[in-house]
Amino acid sequence: MNSNVEELLRRIPLYNKYGKDFPQETLNRFQIPEFKLPVLKPINELLDPWYQECDNITKVCQMHDSSSKKFDQWYKDQYMSKKPPGMVGNILLSPSKKDNS
């Protein structure tokens, strides 16, 4: 089997991927033009708007949470304070029988 492989390889012509005249003539090096990226702003300047937006969002969330507390306090002061104690404290008020003793 080795002889078959050798015969097959001998039939394939050899070639140089750099061309026929490679060792005598060297290839020219391809020059790629240099490109430059624009200078970035400092990280603090880039992230400051994000920090401000996050701060605004947290403030709005806190205002939303506190608004329900304000409503609960107003409801308690304006409406529930005028109700009888049995309705406010979730206590069942039942009429009691008079003792005739």
φ, ψ (nearest 5 deg) of residue 58 = -65, -35
pLDDT at residue 9, rounded to an integer: 85
pLDDT at 5 over 60: yes
Q: Which of the 8 DSSP states describes residue 81?
A: G
pLDDT at residue 96, rounded to an integer: 66
List of residues 6+ apart from 80 with CB closer than 8 A? 88
Q: Which of the 8 DSSP states describes residue 57?
A: H
Q: In angstroms, how far is CA 60 from the centroid of its own chain?
A: 20
Structure tokens at 89: 């404290």
Quick: pLDDT tens for 42-72: 999 999 999 999 999 999 999 998 888 888 8
C-alpha–C-alpha distance, residues 60 and 9, integer Å: 77
Alpha helices for 1-101 (secondary structure H): 2-11, 43-78, 85-88
Query: Over the Cα atoms of the chain, what is R_g?
Result: 45
Q: Which of the 8 DSSP states describes residue 17?
A: T
pTM comes to 0.39
Tokens 């403030």 -> residue: 59
What is the share, in percent, of the chain residues with pLDDT greater than 90?
A: 20
